[in-house]
Chains A and B, each alone.
Chain A
Amino acid sequence: MPFLTVDNISVNFRGVKALAGVSFSVEEHSIFSVIGPNGSGKTTLFNLINGIYKPDRGRIVFQGTDISRLSPDRIARRGIARTFQNIELFSRASVMDNLLLGRHIHMRCGVFSGAFMWGRRSRAAREEIENRESVEAVMEFLGISPLRDHPVVNLPYGKRKLVELGRALALEPRLLLLDEPTAGMSADEKKDLDVRIRAIRDQYKATIILIEHDMGVVMGLSDTVLAIDQGRVIAEGKPREVQSHPDVVKAYLGS
């Protein structure tokens, strides 16, 4: 049974066909890249997997269950996390609080145990301490520990991207969706991230779907590449095969 299967999925926005009958499947522990020109439907695909949009037709099967009609929070609980193309951080909160929100599904405390956080041994305090420790480990891994108490609004773009990645990792995802993680980064930062993404797969045992425009990054990282254009799959396979596929070349030159 494949880890994730997207089965003949279609979605329209007021007549615009954003995705039209897209199918593919992703192997566990692989790095799967999605490429395509601007407006081809890549982000829409993520929004469907996340449950932000509901498909008009088709199914998305994750570890044996159809998740295409579940709400985003139910899908998150199954271990799917993501970063956004345009960074969706909790802007008024600190780096620490943003990452702690990634721990939400692993925490239990409600209003009452929260309100009665009297002292270090209370249930809420113990939960906070435990989860703050695991967030600390994620920050360490991404090299953002010095930023822990900074409000995210004041951080430079590159750091905010890392914080968002950290928030997704804090969820301990089984499937991690990264929407253009290297956009706006310098060559050095890109190389850095390249290494980190590999480490995420190995250390965090996550499967990764990557939307990426930088062909260097895609070629170096991916086990499989999916190319879409105008909401349709035009090629799928090993990075080299897809890169030289005539339809892919045409789509990129034509755009």
Chain B
Amino acid sequence: MKQDHYADVGLFPGKSTALGVLGFILFLVSLPLYLPEYNFYLLNLMIAHVIIVVGLNILAGGTGQISLGHAGFFAIGAYGTVLLMQKLGIPFIPALVLAGFIAAFFGFVVGLPALKLEGPYLSIATLAFGLAITHIIGHVDIFGGRTGIQAPPLDLGIPQWGLSYVLSSDVQKYWLFLVVALLMAAGARNIMKTRVGRSFKAIRDSNVAAGVMGINLPAYKTLAFAVSAFYAGIAGGLFGFVLGFFNPEPFNLVLSITFLIMAVVGGLSSIAGSVAGAALITYLQFSLLKNIDEIPYFGTLLTSISERWFTDEGLHNIDSIVLGIIMVIIIIFEPSGLYGVWLRIKGYVQKTPRDTHKAGEV
């Protein structure tokens, strides 16, 4: 039987996956029909996080390099997009893409130490970058300093030519963000299925063999940083318009760590996992854990425990504590994260022999 090799790399491996993905996309597109408007701030935030975590996964899950500076690239994307629009009059879409490339350039530069440093030493170099970036932004007037800057209206047209298409509501932005996220996720998946992604994974598995098979290690290690930073830049560009008004403060080390948690919880070997991890953690942080004290009995109990040991008042630290616990549980019981959990469920349902970490998954 002649093998169809395209089936191995095509976006949809089979009819059932294609239908599943299509159904899921339709569901996402139609969400505004049944969800009230106020949910879409959170959903837009989720989408921005999904994009950056997918990019982080290309780096961490792909080459095995850990970045503690992704909030820095996120900031470059947010500030870059807004400033390119305001100061240079560039329309939104090109400004966003350009900001992505600026972030990618910084990613390349930050990746240079990867040629000499490994493991924790490299992570510390990225950490230093993340801290430096917000510091610089906070001290330069054009970036709005510590007070911050206001994002212009999100106009998809070219306002100078009188072509204006302003997305004013969160729902309108949601549709745009969704399209961007789908493109970025499909792109990441394609990258990981083809020559470059394969080389990233080869570097992670065996440096020596990768070199001997002709992979230029310095080039690919820095490339992984650049690609990952591009994703962070695009995500940051969208994030700026979720917030509307922002200053350097949110782009801190805790945010970088939160992105890593999202990637690990989702599973470092799969893009679908990254999407799930980012969405779940964002939901926990910004919705469930914000309102948990309002749950009858349980909320009061939790508050009293928290006030007894962890905080002066209320449930101030609850999200850090819960995220920490989730992280520990995942690392101990299911290192492949939500993606691994899903494989398990699928295994039980199908009752067929399965190869847990089916090779070829990103």
By the criterion CB–CB under 8 Å, are B227 and A89 in contact?
no
In order of increasing CB-CB distance, the 5 nearest A-B pairs are: A76-B214, A94-B359, A151-B359, A72-B211, A115-B187
A38 at the interface (CB under 8 A from B): no
Q: B131: shortest Cβ distance to chain A, in Å? A: 28
Q: B217: shortest Cβ distance to chain A, in Å? A: 7
By the criterion CB–CB under 8 Å, are B198 and A101 in contact?
yes
B287 at the interface (CB under 8 A from A): no
Interface residues of A in 55-90 (CB under 8 A from B): 71-73, 76-77, 81-82, 84, 88-90
Q: Which residues of A contact B35 (CB under 8 A)?
A: none
By the criterion CB–CB under 8 Å, are B6 and A125 in contact?
yes
Contacting chain B: which of A1-9, A105-113, A225-233?
A105-113
Interface residues of A in 92-138 (CB under 8 A from B): 92-94, 96-97, 100-102, 104-105, 107-111, 113-120, 124-125, 127-129, 132-133, 136
B30 at the interface (CB under 8 A from A): no
**What per-residue 1/0 map shows which CB atoms of A217-243 lie under 8 Å from chain B?**
000000000000000000000000000
Question: What are 28 contact pairs spanning A and B, CB under 8 A?
Answer: A51-B211, A52-B211, A73-B211, A73-B217, A88-B206, A88-B208, A88-B212, A89-B205, A90-B206, A92-B205, A92-B269, A93-B359, A93-B360, A97-B360, A104-B213, A104-B214, A105-B213, A109-B194, A109-B196, A111-B196, A111-B227, A116-B190, A127-B194, A128-B8, A129-B6, A132-B5, A151-B358, A171-B213
A48 at the interface (CB under 8 A from B): no
Contact of A90 with B190 at beta-carbon distance under 8 Å, contacts A73-B211, A151-B357 already known? no
B70 at the interface (CB under 8 A from A): no
Contact of A73 with B214 at beta-carbon distance under 8 Å, contacts A92-B357, A120-B10 already known? yes
B197 at the interface (CB under 8 A from A): yes
A152 at the interface (CB under 8 A from B): yes
Query: Nearest chain-A residue to B203 (Cβ)?
Result: A90
Q: Which residues of A contact B8 (CB under 8 A)?
A: 96, 128, 132
By the criterion CB–CB under 8 Å, are A114 and B197 in contact?
yes
Contact of A114 with B359 at beta-carbon distance under 8 Å, contacts A101-B199, A125-B6 already known? no
Whole-angstrom CA separation of A89 from B9 in the bound complex:
21
Contact of A128 with B214 at beta-carbon distance under 8 Å, contacts A94-B360, A109-B194, A114-B197 already known? no
Q: Which residues of B contact A100 (CB under 8 A)?
A: 198
Whole-angstrom CA separation of A104 from B201 in the bound complex:
13
A-B contact count (CB 8 A): 148
Whole-angstrom CA separation of A171 from B209 in the bound complex:
13
Interface size on A, residues (CB 8 A): 53
By the criterion CB–CB under 8 Å, are A109 and B10 in contact?
no
By the criterion CB–CB under 8 Å, are B212 and A76 in contact?
yes
Binding site for A on B (CB under 8 A): 3, 5-6, 8-11, 187-188, 190-191, 193-199, 201-202, 204-206, 208-217, 223, 227, 269, 355, 357-360
A50 at the interface (CB under 8 A from B): yes
Whole-angstrom CA separation of A150 from B354 in the bound complex:
11
Q: Which residues of B contact A111 (CB under 8 A)?
A: 191, 196, 223, 227
Q: B194: shortest Cβ distance to chain A, in Å? A: 4
Q: Which residues of B contact A120 (CB under 8 A)?
A: 6, 10
Q: Which residues of B contact A124 (CB under 8 A)?
A: 9, 190, 194-195
Whole-angstrom CA separation of A72 from B213 in the bound complex:
8
Q: Which residues of A contact B355 (CB under 8 A)?
A: 150-151, 154
Q: Which residues of B contact A192 (CB under 8 A)?
A: none
Whole-angstrom CA separation of A96 from B194 in the bound complex:
12
A91 at the interface (CB under 8 A from B): yes
Contact of A97 with B214 at beta-carbon distance under 8 Å, contacts A116-B190, A125-B9 already known? no
By the criterion CB–CB under 8 Å, are A104 and B199 in contact?
yes
Contact of A101 with B197 at beta-carbon distance under 8 Å, contacts A111-B223, A149-B360 already known? no
Whole-angstrom CA separation of A118 from B183 in the bound complex:
11
Whole-angstrom CA separation of A32 from B182 in the bound complex:
54
Whole-angstrom CA separation of A108 from B11 in the bound complex:
20
Q: Which residues of A contact B215 (CB under 8 A)?
A: 73, 101, 104
Q: Which residues of B contact A151 (CB under 8 A)?
A: 355, 357-359
